[in-house]
């Protein structure tokens, strides 16, 4: 089943009179349950591609279909609605809300989805347990290490049980041990829940877990290969 | 305003149609005959609190080589209308049958180095156009807190003032205080005006009313300036908050928070800010108002004329209406002021917000 389908997608950024072509006619289909890495050098367009899949941005041309819905021309609020229940994000800089505890950070997407207090509590504890953060539930991000913050971010990304989890350089700010731990957790959740993961990365530690590697260069997909990722 | 009216003009004055208040003449043709009887008739009106005759004459006080021009006011010592003069620094108030006693103001007593019991020589312009003089004993030294008033007015019992000035059974005016001063125009029309001229407090204090209106307008301008500053501070605070929380807004937007929810979040924050500010401001304002309402703010003798008497201390007061008006205005303006930063936050693209914050 297709979770995301991009057809001939182009994204051009315009700064003043200067145009930068970040993606140049990319077509890509992500199937359910994949653990895909988007790789390539800096400026190759992998983050832009991830943002388009995540409905954080809109293409200049081409078509984007997410979970069966055409997201190409959705307005800001419609895209927010689509993201809310369908897509989870893990960012490079952890991106937790600094004034909220780990528990509250994981709870936030559930609140936005209108879940009841009982449902929220059950789900948050379930997810914190899955990422091994139950004992740090009441800590704020500044009281957690980078690895712990990223584990909370993974839990938050999975909170609404989304079809697609997108991660932009999830291990870039983690040491080897923490990076491995975070990847192990995501791989485990991929296998257990069937959630689809797409990473933009050039970290070999991430790539080795992937079962599909899409290589970008100068805004084009130059290689798309199935691999036997670490399980 | 009310204290000035009670002290000086009253809410209404009934005078002979030909009386000129600037001349202080005690010639009979300018005065009201049988004033007690007329005062009693006026006091019988429902809206009237108290009505009392007063005789005004010009005079000179002489003590040794010093002489000072004063206004002599003959009053009914028993009337409640004269309560503002009962605050005595020393001595006692006049009695109706006192034939030698005089009540003088504290600044006048200081100027002439007079104490209770001292004797003074008082000259008066009489009804027949001549001058009479008599020795009086200082019975009491009063203070109304209004130096401009206290330094120029001395009191005698009405009967003594009438006899001394040759005014006979006449008075310069009937001084009237109403239960509600806003009824002045209505009551003025109800008083038979055959030979009388009835003037309301607005007519008697036109300059003070003008200044009062002006000061109200001035206060409105000051309030608007304060509100302007408040709005600027609120907008600035919330804009800072938006900039500082760009990343947070980006995250919330990325996980599905809609624009209107982001607006609601900032409005809620502004409401809390307004609630805190209004609570602290109201308590501080109330406390200051109570304090300065008791202690007053000292301005001293501003050297204003008798047309515009102001107490040496100005006392603050807070009405429930003005407090509620200001609280609601502050709250509403804070929310309005927060709309711009809130809209700005809601329009941030998550990609840009996350990118700019990194």
Q: Are residues B155 and B61 in the same domain?
A: yes
Yes or no: say if B12 and B149 are a contact pair by the CB < 8 Å rule: no
Contact of B254 with chain A, judged by CB distance below 8 Å, is answered with yes
Q: Do B196 and B322 lie in a common domain?
A: no
Task: Examine the domain organization and report whether B225 and B140 are in the same domain.
Answer: no
Tokens linked to A144: 């957690």
Last residue of a domain, one of B154, B181, B204: B204
pLDDT band at A55 (very low <50, low <70, confident <90, very high): very high
CB contact under 8 A, A80 and B258: yes
Measured between beta carbons, the chain A residues lying within 8 angstroms of B255 are: 83-84, 88-89, 108-109, 112, 156
Confidence of residue B329 (pLDDT cuts 50, 70, 90): confident
Chain A residue numbers touching B263 (CB-CB < 8 A): none
Distance from CA of B272 to the nearest CA of A (A): 17
What residue numbers bound the domain in which B273 lies? Answer: 208-357
Q: Are residues B45 and B140 in the same domain?
A: yes
Tell me how far apart the alpha carbons of residues B260 and B242 are, in angstroms, rounded to a whole number: 15
A144-169 mean pLDDT: 89
Q: Check whether residue B144 and residue B226 sit in a common domain.
A: no
Least Cα separation, residue B252 to chain A (angstroms): 8
Query: How confident is the prediction for chain B on average, in pLDDT?
Result: 86
pLDDT above 60 for B305 = no
What is the pLDDT, as a whole number, of residue A229? 62
Q: Which of B169, B204, B239 is the last residue of a domain?
A: B204
pTM metric for this prediction = 0.66
B residues 327-356 closer than 8 Å to A (CB): 347, 349-351, 354
Together in a domain, B181 and B212? no
Asked if B259's CB is within 8 angstroms of A80's CB, the reply is: yes
The model's pLDDT over A84-102, given as tens digits with 9 standing for 90+, comes to 889 998 887 778 898 899 9
Confidence band of A16 (pLDDT split at 50, 70, 90): confident
Of B247, B254, B347, the CB nearest to A83: B254
| A80 with B251: Cβ contact below 8 A | no
Which tokens belong to B162?
């009438």
H or E stretch at B209: helix B206-244
The average pLDDT across B34-39 equals 88
- The string of pLDDT tens digits covering residues B240-265 is 888 888 888 888 888 888 889 999 99
Nearest CA in chain B to A93: B358
What is the distance between the alpha carbons of residues B331 and B234, in angstroms, rounded to a whole number? 11
A contacts of B257 (beta carbons < 8 Å): 80, 112
Q: B196 and B258: one domain?
A: no
Kindly tell me if the per-residue pLDDT of A24 is higher than 80: yes
Report ipTM for this prediction. Answer: 0.85
Q: Is A103 on the interface with B (CB under 8 A)?
A: no
On whether both B213 and B105 belong to a single domain, the answer is: no
A69 bridge partner residues: A66
Indicate if B113 and B13 belong to the same structural domain.
Answer: yes
Of B204, B221, B238, the position where a domain reaches its end is B204
B252 touches chain A (CB under 8 A): yes
B71 pLDDT above the threshold of 70: yes
A–B interface: beta-carbon pairs under 8 A:
55
Tell me which H or E stretch contains B204. helix B201-204
Q: For B34-43, which contacts have Cβ atoms below 8 Å and span 24 or more sequence positions?
A: B34/B169, B35/B169, B35/B170, B35/B171, B35/B174, B36/B76, B38/B14, B38/B174, B39/B174, B42/B14, B42/B174, B42/B176, B42/B191
Give chain B's domain count. 2
Instruction: Decide if B254 and A54 are in contact by the 8 Å CB cutoff.
Output: yes
Q: Do residues B110 and B196 both lie within one domain?
A: yes
Q: Do A80 and B351 touch (CB under 8 A)?
A: no
Interval B101-130: pLDDT, tens: 999 999 999 989 999 999 999 999 888 888
Residues B215 and B192 in one domain: no
Residues B223 and B198 in one domain: no
Spatial CB neighbours of B179, under 8 Å, sequence gap ≥ 6: B47, B48, B49
């Amino acid at each position: 089943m297709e979770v995301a389908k991009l057809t001939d997608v182009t994204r051009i950024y315009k700064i003043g009179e200067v145009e930068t072509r970040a993606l140049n006619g990319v077509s890509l289909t992500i199937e359910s349950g994949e653990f895909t890495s988007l790789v390539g050098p800096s400026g190759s367009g992998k983050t832009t591609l991830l943002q388009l899949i995540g409905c954080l941005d809109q293409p200049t041309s081409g078509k984007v279909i997410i979970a069966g819905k055409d997201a190409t021309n959705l307005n800001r609020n419609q895209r927010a609605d689509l993201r809310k229940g369908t897509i989870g994000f893990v960012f490079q800089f952890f991106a937790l809300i600094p004034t909220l505890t780990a528990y509250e950070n994981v709870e936030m997407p559930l609140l936005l989805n209108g879940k009841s207090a009982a449902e929220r509590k059950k789900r948050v504890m379930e997810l914190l347990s899955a990422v091994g953060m139950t004992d740090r539930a009441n800590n704020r991000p500044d009281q957690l290490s980078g690895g712990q913050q990223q584990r909370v971010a993974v839990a938050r990304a999975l909170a609404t049980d989304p079809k697609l989890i997108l991660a932009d350089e999830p291990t870039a700010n983690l040491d080897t041990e923490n990076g491995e731990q975070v990847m192990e957790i995501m791989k485990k959740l991929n296998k257990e829940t069937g959630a689809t993961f797409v990473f933009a990365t050039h970290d070999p530690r991430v790539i080795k877990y992937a079962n599909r590697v899409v290589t970008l260069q100068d805004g084009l997909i130059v290689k798309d290969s199935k691999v036997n990722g670490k399980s | 305003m009310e204290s000035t009216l009670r002290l000086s003009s009253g809410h209404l004055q009934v005078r002979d149609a030909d009386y000129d208040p600037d001349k202080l003449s005690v010639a009979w043709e300018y005065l009201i005959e049988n004033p007690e009887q007329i005062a009693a008739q006026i006091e019988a009106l429902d809206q009237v609190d108290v009505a009392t005759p007063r005789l005004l004459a010009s005079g000179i006080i002489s003590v040794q080589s010093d002489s000072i021009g004063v206004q002599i006011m003959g009053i009914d010592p028993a009337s409640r209308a004269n309560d503002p003069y009962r605050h005595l620094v020393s001595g006692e108030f006049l009695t109706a049958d006192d034939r030698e006693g005089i009540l003088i103001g504290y600044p006048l007593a200081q100027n002439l180095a007079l104490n209770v019991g001292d004797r003074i020589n008082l000259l008066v312009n009489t009804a027949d156009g001549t001058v009479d003089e008599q020795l009086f004993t200082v019975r009491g030294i009063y203070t109304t807190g209004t130096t401009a008033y206290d330094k120029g007015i001395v009191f005698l019992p009405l009967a003594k003032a009438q006899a001394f000035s040759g005014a006979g059974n006449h008075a310069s005016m009937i001084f009237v205080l109403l239960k509600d001063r806003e009824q002045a125009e209505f009551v003025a029309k109800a008083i038979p005006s055959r030979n009388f001229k009835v003037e309301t407090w607005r007519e008697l204090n036109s300059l003070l009313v003008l200044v009062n209106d002006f000061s109200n307008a001035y206060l409105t301008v000051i309030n608007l300036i304060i509100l302007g500053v408040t709005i600027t501070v609120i907008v600035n605070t919330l804009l800072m908050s938006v900039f500082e929380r760009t990343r947070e807004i980006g995250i919330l937007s990325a996980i599905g928070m809609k624009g209107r929810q982001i607006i609601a979040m900032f409005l809620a924050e502004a409401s809390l800010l307004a609630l805190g500010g209004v609570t602290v401001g109201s308590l501080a304002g109330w406390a200051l108002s109570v304090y300065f309402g008791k202690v007053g703010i000292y301005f001293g003798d501003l050297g204003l004329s008798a047309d515009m008497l102001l107490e040496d201390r100005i006392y603050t007061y807070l009405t429930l209406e003005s407090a509620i008006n200001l609280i609601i205005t502050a709250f509403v303006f804070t929310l309005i002021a927060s709309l711009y930063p809130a809209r700005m936050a809601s329009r941030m693209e998550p990609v840009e917000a996350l990118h700019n914050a990194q």
